[in-house]
């Protein structure tokens, strides 16, 4: 940047970044508590920043969020980011508001794939890095080796001398303590807060500059309408001020700031004025996009727009056209789905929505199947009914070559499982990169594998390792297509009629595969009721009752025993379906189905092909 000749020393902007579950949100809680934000004895829920329902239920952060603490007169704006690889776009967006990054690394797990991703992005953004080796209370903590691994990672990522000379703290975020050395008796996080103020540069700006703000996040309030959130790059802004928004196409739209707010803890506080470097929430704009510049009429210069990595996975969304559609949801029409997806693309930088040529559905592109599953789950809770197809990777074509997204995969499991895991990953065109014995007796293996090889694999991996394995992957780049392999090795059990599933029929079908439904469930022709143990699809009658020859036989039918079925989850369903299958999603049910439902239609298609 040029002409930056001022520093706002009353502020610091810091992003907390890490691999999933390394303790970011928990550490923010402790910072809140110790900066005097809450009354003594006040009941405050855990992981306060994980405010979305799905975040609380799943115990993970999905969206990056802003908050602040005041420490010794300095406001530290904090951006809590998600650690799951599929939400990497949120980290990239969050880093646009930060001048420094707190890199958390679990004292036992050490740097994992997403640690590399977030650190790389922070280094690219030229942020001051403070390293926190966290969870030092863990029984299996190995802080000395973890520190070595962090150095190795930084060197690999091309960090310079200064970046290698990072400030280092050891913390137990849960207990709210941090110290400069392991043998130091830490009682609080004061040293961490002091280190942030001392080491992270105060936001700089052009002293004589006019107001300019980069929109990095959007929100909505029933009272205030759309809210634009971002960092003030230069100048000051006042409530009620007349400003201009510069859109991506260069359009300049006037607006009036109806309310100006800044962060106080996890809440918003109204303010009359905000200075350079601060993170503000502006209301009074109807139409605004992430990446837009808001500025005074005097300085109509757009700032560099926020850009994030391209999506790698796509999924088809369409209106639910099953014979039992519209019974369980509130929003079923294609137009409602379109509207909802448009809204999502507006506030989620890593989601792209395209209307399909057939005008019947939408292609939603994102950074991973889990990100798309979370979107579908959110929509179903809002009352939507829809159908989604199998997640597909997005190929690229360059210089006559077909390229595909490739992941860096790390699996950890007991020694007895490594054979199966390696065999399956190799079949999916995975290449082993590293193999190591962990201190806890487990084996860690790293692979480079096409993203498409991982779609549908997680569930299988958990079964193969009897639920004890862990796997993490993140996108490492586009590479030449590694060749075909089947999506799934088995077919489906498909209902050949409409009706209601019956215990007697399901019990008999158990010999054919794994059943997904229970007696009493509605079924329709073309609905998938289970996984076939052989390759082909098998058309079956799940409604068949035993012929009633006399009363005793009828009594026997009631006593039929069937294996317990665990309810189908959206994740499992999306992982199970093949190219010619769909998941039917309603607020109450997850059903699987063939895309083409009836035998007649299928035959017609084959004839037409
Ligand atoms: N032993 C120990 N556990 C911790 C510590 N800090 C957090 N945890 C636990 O680690 C788990 C994950 O904590 P979070 O704060 O949600 O981690 P996160 O990094 O925000 O996770 P994502 O945002 O989903 O990436 C929770 O079960 C915490 O209770 C710590 O210092 N020690
Ligand atoms: Mg979190």
Q: Is 21 in the pocket of ligand 1 (CB under 6 A)?
A: yes
CATH of the domain at 247: 2.40.30.10
Residue 275, domain member (yes or no) = yes
Pocket probe for ligand 1: among 31, 55, 139, 174, the residue whose CB has the most ligand atoms within 8 Å is 174
Same domain? For 258 and 135 the reply is no
pLDDT digits (tens, 9 = 90+) for 60-82: 999 999 999 999 999 999 999 99
CA end-to-end span of the chain, whole Å?
A: 59
> 332 lies in a domain?
no
| Each residue's pLDDT tens digit, 387-402 | 999 999 999 999 999 9
With respect to residue 138, please indicate whether it lies within any of the assigned structural domains. yes
Whole-number Å distance between alpha carbons of 516 and 506:
10
Please indicate, yes or no, whether residues 128 and 232 belong to a single structural domain of this protein.
no
Q: Is 442 in the pocket of ligand 1 (CB under 6 A)?
A: no
Note whether 35 and 178 are same-domain residues: yes
Positions of E strands within 429-487: 431-437, 443-450, 470-480
Distance 73 CA to ligand 2 centre (A): 26
pLDDT of res. 1: 44
83 close to ligand 1 (CB < 6 Angstrom): yes
- Residues pairing with 245 in the sheet: 253, 294
Instruction: Tell me, yes or no, whether 288 and 429 share the same domain.
Output: no
DSSP letter for each residue of 314-338 = EEEEE---STTTTSS-SB-SHHHHH
Which tokens is 106 given?
């679990």
Same domain, residue pair 285 and 402? no
Q: Indicate which residue's Cα is closest to atom 30 of ligand 1.
A: 135
Which tens digit of pLDDT belongs to each residue from 549-565? 655 544 445 567 888 88
**In the chain, what percentage of residues exceed pLDDT 70?**
97
The yes-or-no verdict on residue 221 having pLDDT over 60 is yes
State pLDDT tens for residues 508-521: 999 999 999 999 99
The pLDDT tens digits of the residues spanning 115-157 come to: 999 999 999 999 999 999 999 999 999 999 999 999 999 999 9
18 CB under 6 A from ligand 1?
yes
On whether residue 410 sits in a domain, the answer given is yes
Pick from 127-131, 344-348, 485-489: least confident: 485-489
Q: What atom in ligand 1 is closest to the CA of residue 22? A: 19
* Pocket of ligand 1 contains residue 135 by CB under 6 Å: yes
The finding on whether 514 has its CB within 6 A of some atom of ligand 1 is no
Our answer on whether the CB atom of 29 is closer than 6 Å to any ligand 1 atom is: no
pLDDT of residue 552: 52
61 pocket-lining for ligand 1 (C-beta < 6 Å): yes
Q: Read off the tokens for 454.
A: 């991982």
Task: Kindly state whether residues 177 and 218 are assigned to the same domain.
Answer: no
Q: In the block, which residue shows the tokens 């076939």? A: 532
In three-state form (DSSP H/G/I as H, E/B as E, the rest C), the secondary structure along 246-304 is ECCCCCEEEEECCEEEEEEECEEEECCEECCCCEEEEECCCCCCCCCEEECCCCCCCCC
23 CB within 6 A, ligand 1: yes
Q: What is the largest CA-CA distance in the chain?
A: 96
Considering the domain boundaries, does residue 21 fall inside one? Answer: yes
Q: CB of 65 closer than 6 A to ligand 1?
A: no
Give me the long-range contacts of 150-159 (CB less than 8 A, separation at least 24): 150/103, 150/105, 150/110, 150/111, 153/111, 153/115, 153/116, 153/119, 154/119, 157/116, 157/119, 157/120, 157/123, 158/123, 159/123
Q: Are residues 51 and 128 in the same domain?
A: yes
| Model pLDDT, residue 3 | 66
Residue 555: per-residue pLDDT: 45
Give pLDDT, residue 549: 60
- Report d(CA 449, CA 454) in Å as an integer: 8
The Cα–Cα gap between 100 and 13 comes to: 7
Residues 88 and 58 in one domain: yes
Exposure letters 89-124 (e unless 16+ CB within 10 A, then b): bbbbbbbbbbbbbbbbbbbbbbbbbbbbbbbebbbe
Average pLDDT on 186-190 reads 94
From the alpha carbon of 59, which atom of ligand 1 is closest?
Answer: 16
**Domain of 435, in residue numbers:** 396-480
- The residue out of 269, 295, 321 marking a domain boundary is 295
163 and 257 inside one domain: no
Q: Which atom of ligand 1 is closest in space to residue 26's alpha carbon?
A: 15
Q: Based on the fold, state whether residues 73 and 177 are members of the same structural domain.
A: yes
174 Cα–ligand 1 center, Å: 8
CA of 172, closest atom in ligand 1: 31
Q: SS3 for 169?
A: strand
End-of-domain residue from the set 228, 262, 295: 295
Stated pTM of the model: 0.91
Least confident of 126-130, 306-310, 511-515, 532-536: 306-310
Mean pLDDT of 467-476: 90
In a domain, 273, yes or no: yes
Distance CA 473, CA 116 (A): 11
Same domain, 191 and 242: no
CATH code, domain with 46: 3.40.50.300
The pLDDT assigned to 609 comes to: 62
Number of C-beta neighbours around residue 387 at 10 A? 21
Exposed, middle or buried by CB within 10 Å (0-12, 13-18, 19+), for 381? exposed
When the pLDDT of each residue in the chain is averaged and rounded to a whole number, the result is 91
The residue nearest atom 21 of ligand 1, judged by CA position, is 21
Distance from C-alpha of 445 to C-alpha of 412, rounded to nearest angstrom? 6
Domain count, the chain: 3
Condensed to tens digits (0 to 9), the pLDDT of residues 376-385 reads 999 999 999 9
For residue 96, being part of any structural domain is answered with: yes
Tell me which residue of 9, 339, 475 sits closest to 197, measured CA to CA.
Answer: 9
Same domain, 181 and 216: no
Q: How far is the CA of 246 from the centre of ligand 2 (A)?
A: 33
- CATH code: domain of residue 470: 3.30.70.240
pLDDT, average across residues 595-601: 87
| Alpha carbons 570 and 575: distance in angstroms, whole number | 8
Does 573 map to a domain? no
User: Residue 287 — very low, low, confident or very high, per pLDDT cuts 50/70/90?
Assistant: confident
Choose the final residue of a domain: 480, 514, 535. Answer: 480
Ligand nearest to the CA of 87: 1
DSSP string computed for 85-147: GGGHHHHHHHHTT-SEEEEEEETTT-S-HHHHHHHHHHHHTT-EEEEEEE-TTSTT--HHHHH
470-491: average pLDDT: 88
For residue 548, the 8-state DSSP code is -
Distance, CA of 15 to CA of 8 (rounded, Å)? 18
The DSSP letter of residue 306 is P
Query: pLDDT value at position 5?
Result: 73
Comparing 264-273, 293-302, 375-384, the range with the smallest average pLDDT is 293-302
């Amino acid at each position: 940047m040029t002409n930056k000749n001022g520093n706002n020393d009353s502020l610091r902007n810091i992003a907390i970044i890490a691999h999933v579950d390394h303790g970011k949100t928990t550490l923010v809680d402790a910072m809140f508590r110790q900066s005097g934000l809450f009354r003594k004895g006040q009941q405050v829920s855990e992981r306060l920043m994980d405010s979305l329902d799905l975040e609380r239920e799943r115990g993970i952060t999905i969206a990056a969020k802003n908050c602040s603490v005041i420490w010794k007169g300095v406001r530290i704006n904090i951006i809590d980011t998600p650690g799951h690889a599929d939400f990497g776009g949120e980290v990239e967006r969050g880093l646009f508001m930060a001048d420094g990054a707190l890199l958390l690394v679990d004292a036992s797990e050490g740097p994992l794939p997403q640690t590399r991703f977030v650190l790389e992005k922070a280094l690219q953004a030229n942020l001051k890095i403070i390293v926190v080796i966290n969870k030092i209370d863990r029984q299996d903590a190995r802080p000395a080796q973890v520190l070595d691994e962090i150095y190795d990672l930084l060197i690999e990522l091309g960090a310079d001398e200064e970046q290698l000379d990072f400030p280092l703290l050891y913390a137990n975020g849960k207990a709210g303590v941090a110290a400069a050395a392991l043998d130091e008796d830490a009682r609080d996080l004061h040293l961490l807060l002091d280190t942030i103020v001392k080491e992270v540069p105060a936001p700089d700006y052009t002293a004589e500059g006019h107001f300019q703000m980069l929109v990095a996040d959007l929100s909505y309030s029933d009272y205030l309408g759309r809210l634009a959130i971002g960092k003030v790059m230069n100048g000051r802004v006042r409530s009620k001020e007349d400003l201009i928004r510069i859109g991506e196409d260069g359009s300049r739209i006037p607006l009036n700031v109806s309310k100006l707010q800044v962060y106080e803890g996890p809440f918003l506080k109204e303010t009359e004025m905000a200075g350079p470097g601060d993170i503000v929430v502006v209301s009074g704009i109807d139409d605004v996009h992430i990446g837009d510049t808001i500025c005074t009429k005097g300085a109509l210069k757009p700032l560099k727009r926020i850009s994030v990595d391209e999506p790698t996975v796509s999924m088809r969304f369409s209106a639910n056209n099953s014979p039992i559609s519209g019974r369980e949801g509130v929003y079923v029409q294609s137009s409602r789905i379109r509207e909802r997806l448009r809204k999502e693309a507006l506030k989620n930088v890593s989601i792209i929505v395209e209307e399909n040529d057939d005008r019947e559905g939408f292609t939603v592109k994102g950074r991973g199947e889990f990100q798309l599953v979370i979107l579908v789950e959110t929509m179903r809770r809002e009352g939507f009914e829809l159908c989604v197809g199998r997640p597909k990777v997005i190929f690229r074509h360059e210089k006559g070559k077909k390229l595909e997204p490739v992941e860096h995969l790390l699996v950890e499991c007991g020694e007895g499982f490594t054979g199966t895991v390696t065999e399956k990953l190799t079949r999916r065109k995975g290449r082993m990169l590293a193999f190591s014995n962990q201190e806890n007796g487990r084996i860690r293996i790293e692979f480079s594998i096409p993203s498409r090889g991982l779609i549908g694999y997680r569930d299988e991996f958990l079964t193969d390792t009897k639920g004890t394995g862990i796997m993490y992957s993140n996108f490492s780049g586009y590479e030449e297509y590694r060749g075909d392999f089947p999506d799934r090795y088995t077919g489906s059990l498909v209902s050949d009629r409409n009706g209601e599933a019956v215990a007697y029929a399901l019990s008999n079908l158990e010999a054919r595969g794994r059943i997904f439904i229970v007696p009493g469930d509605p079924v329709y022709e073309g609905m998938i009721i289970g996984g076939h143990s052989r390759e082909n699809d098998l058309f079956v009658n799940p409604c068949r009752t035993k012929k009633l020859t006399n009363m005793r036989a009828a009594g026997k039918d009631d006593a039929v025993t069937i294996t317990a079925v665990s309810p189908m989850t959206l994740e499992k369903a999306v992982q199970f379906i093949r190219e010619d299958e769909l998941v039917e999603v309603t607020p109450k049910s997850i059903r699987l189905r063939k895309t083409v439902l009836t035998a007649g239609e299928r035959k017609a298609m084959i004839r037409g092909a």
